[in-house]
Structure 1
């Protein structure tokens, strides 16, 4: 008698994980009361302040320092006028309850559609990027490049991890390099596989690089700078500790990745994703024979040069010109046109390659939109401010060390729901920063707790970048957590120690 084969349990896909999180957040809106802080924003057209009461009623105030003092907002008025503070800022001690909006069933579905609509600029970037990669693959540029690279990286594999992770972490800590790293996966995956590593090594190198960099932000304008300005402190004074912390965390991250990567290179069965090891090599290396001499055509070389220049222009634009996804999408779309002209492929093959490449990243694009839906539910249900108000009441009156450690944990929780660094800064700093004066510590410590708490939870928060990154390498979330949980413990302890040191040096 034949026995039934037991089905292997599979971890839910990224889509399902986000839907589960969205459903749980939606259910929380029935439990958490709705409420708002009053907000103050600078109107660039009329050159005055607009104050929005918790009820939603708006009125104008003169754009003066006296107005900010009146509302106990400890920010220089010039920071609003020169665009440094470009989002509405919460007014301390202004929280009020508002009637709950019971629209859960409708909101659950509409938020997903709205999330995709509101993320259209990022989605366009991902699809255009996928199309460009499709063209580069189609004319054989990547395979030829891998053949040329195969001999050069032998014995130097570790340098790949150090160089890539170090540069990405540097980009994260200085100008907030994050979503833009999506462009790096399709190019670096075959390079790392060729070096004998696996896709988890690629994920660890790229995602940990950007996560550690943005977590230990030094001069990142989207987190440290805006948070410091909103808290009314000079960010430069706290730089020595933050730079030291960034170096330590980056080195620890590199060691963690390298130890694992070298185990896999020496014995592939040690890979956390060994069950897909051969499948990944077949997919990304296309069964290319790297023992053959490289046969680089000028069209292939030019395609890779154009694609490389697009990366350089993207990084320059984001860092120097403040570009966002519309601008960098234009960069890669332009690169796509140039590659189409010089690829050596027929018009039909170019179009088909572009469409196929874009379709490969369609799942990533949809995940980005679904993740945005969680923030929409939080905003529309007016529960974010309630959570903020609750925690601000709990932490006042504590001893300095317990206060800063507890605040770090508070920001881990807040960061799960509010992944926007600038959004969390302008909402929380006017509320949390004054509490530092109450317990007798420097406000710079509050900036650290905010940065490190938000950055720590981003390593695993489904509402952040991790699920999109996992889809780029086709790895399940449970495998990622199994791989990184020890590093999470190490980083958590490092943050607690550094926060304690901050109390002594600030």
Structure 2
């Protein structure tokens, strides 16, 4: 007994645990606040850029790169927007940046709109999962595909990657992850595999897209490059990066299936892994299950159509999934699926929404970091604008090959603060495009560097609301995700570096 007692402190003293994701975000917030004491605030003037896409004139408000100026006070002294410990009156301080981040934005975007979207979609699918229809459907899929389970990974990865490339699929992956996660567990894989074939696949497609209207089209338009030009190389890149993603995911999934303890989400998968296993012969499937499944499929198709045809965003998508939850509840009660009552449906909605609270908190806290740096409005004096201008000046003094590569590096880092593809394009490309002319880099290469830097880092940065939502529904902590994905990210960045430098060397225009 004394031996056991003495061993415990020794074991604990040697064990080091990675800080929780929220702790890491708070530490980054402290560093951002500290930076405001050393980096002065600056701002740009804005202008309207016009470009043609599919024969339609589009406009976008962008920065004037020659207009940057540091903010000064009445005496002409440079202003530092130093962050205090606490700031009242709606200001942002170190001790209230999390609250300000959580309550920032509007229903159209980060953070409050994204957080409410996460809660609504989590609740709606909580009702769907409570019916048992998804579990029973999974059993039938497994029963009909015995021996061909490995095909799920390449087929799903390719389809989600295509969605990211064609219409910028991202937030929609959250809904699919909720459905696919139990299937992956039953097939012997894990939650990490689910995130790879859904959200990660969309971002691989997003980064290498030849026609994404939310990134490449806007970046080319504001840079003065013919919209959707250079598609041949980008199509080849999409195929190559998609095959790389499929190969990496299958390699990892094969290892997990052979030895489940190798999974980086082994602990968080426990609830799904320990769920009661029902044999196919004992599973239920009736008209009610068919109607529930049709409701889910119809909702997903309807949402995809709305995004493509009418540019639906957070409010519209959330409304469609809420409607799906209500219709599913009515069907479940009418057909007594799992003996559900309306009160059970309400409880399922609350439980599903509750699963999304941890990642929702991280989304808000991460948004607070941007607020500490002054926000992303180019017309308002901020530290972020000063960082953007300094980075542009540094890149402008480099040789062309190195400049092309540093554009990729800069876009990758800047995406931590502005994860919106269209927003980052409007902020950075008006600066990068003329800098590219100065150093001899093709503007098409500058756009390619933006694409790859912006898209691939969405797989990693905790400020990406879609990533955190997908991890949330799969019950994966961001730190565990980081422990897994760093190798894949290193591969993506290494290949992207070669691609950007080679494209410049080949005269890609």
Residue aligned with 1:487, SS: helix
Given that residues 367 and 468 in structure 1 are in contact (C-alpha distance below 8 angstroms), is that contact kept between their aligned partners in structure 2? no
Residues 12 and 128 of structure 1: is their aligned pair in 2 closer, same or farther, counting only changes over 3 Å?
same
Q: Please show how residues 8-23 of structure 1 align to structure 2 within 5 Å.
A: 8-23=15-30
Partner Cα distance (1:28, 1:153) in 2: 56
State the Cα deviation string for residues 314-334 of structure 1 (Å, max 9, x = none).
111112210011001111111
Partner Cα distance (1:268, 1:203) in 2: 17
Q: CA deviation at 1:20?
A: 2.4
Q: 1:148 aligns with which of 132, 140, 146?
A: 140
Given that residues 143 and 288 in structure 1 are in contact (C-alpha distance below 8 angstroms), is that contact kept between their aligned partners in structure 2? no
Q: CA deviation at 1:83?
A: 7.1
Residue aligned with 2:67, SS: coil
Q: 2:70 aligns with which of 87, 90, 97?
A: 97
Partner Cα distance (1:85, 1:377) in 2: 30
Count of residues in Structure 1 that have an aligned counterpart in Structure 2: 468
Given that residues 115 and 360 in structure 2 are in contact (C-alpha distance below 8 angstroms), is that contact kept between their aligned partners in structure 1? yes
1:64 aligns to what? none
**Structure 2, gaps ≥5 residues long:** 72-78, 106-110, 334-339, 376-380
Q: CA deviation at 1:294?
A: 2.9
2:46 aligns to what? 39
Q: CA deviation at 1:279?
A: 4.2
2:387 aligns to what? 387
Partner Cα distance (1:271, 1:138) in 2: 26
1:493 aligns to what? 494
1:228 aligns to what? 220
Given that residues 17 and 462 in structure 1 are in contact (C-alpha distance below 8 angstroms), is that contact kept between their aligned partners in structure 2? no
Given that residues 37 and 83 in structure 2 are in contact (C-alpha distance below 8 angstroms), is that contact kept between their aligned partners in structure 1? no
State the Cα deviation string for residues 300-345 of structure 1 (Å, max 9, x = none).
2211221221111111111221001100111111112211211123
Residues 290 and 29 of structure 1: is their aligned pair in 2 closer, same or farther, counting only changes over 3 Å?
farther
1:301 paired with 2:281, answer: no
Greater shift after overlay, 337-346 or 471-480? 471-480
Partner Cα distance (2:170, 2:414) in 1: 19
1:170 paired with 2:162, answer: yes
Q: Please show how residues 234-245 of structure 1 align to structure 2 within 5 Å.
A: 234-245=226-237
1:346 paired with 2:346, answer: no
Residue aligned with 2:291, SS: helix
State the Cα deviation string for residues 172-191 of structure 1 (Å, max 9, x = none).
12222112211122111001
**Structure 1, gaps ≥5 residues long:** 42-74
Given that residues 14 and 471 in structure 1 are in contact (C-alpha distance below 8 angstroms), is that contact kept between their aligned partners in structure 2? no
Greater shift after overlay, 467-476 or 164-173? 467-476
User: What is the TM-score when the length of structure 2 is the normalising length?
Assistant: 0.86
Partner Cα distance (1:377, 1:200) in 2: 32
Partner Cα distance (1:439, 1:102) in 2: 34
Given that residues 89 and 427 in structure 1 are in contact (C-alpha distance below 8 angstroms), is that contact kept between their aligned partners in structure 2? yes
Partner Cα distance (2:129, 2:395) in 1: 54
Q: CA deviation at 1:262?
A: 1.3
Residues 266 and 249 of structure 1: is their aligned pair in 2 closer, same or farther, counting only changes over 3 Å?
same
Provide the alpha-carbon RMSD of the alignment. 2.3
Q: CA deviation at 1:291?
A: 4.5
Given that residues 174 and 217 in structure 1 are in contact (C-alpha distance below 8 angstroms), is that contact kept between their aligned partners in structure 2? yes
Given that residues 216 and 228 in structure 2 are in contact (C-alpha distance below 8 angstroms), is that contact kept between their aligned partners in structure 1? no
Partner Cα distance (1:83, 1:116) in 2: 36
Given that residues 248 and 488 in structure 2 are in contact (C-alpha distance below 8 angstroms), is that contact kept between their aligned partners in structure 1? yes
Structure (1/2) with the larger helix percentage: 1
1:269 aligns to what? 261
Given that residues 268 and 476 in structure 2 are in contact (C-alpha distance below 8 angstroms), is that contact kept between their aligned partners in structure 1? no
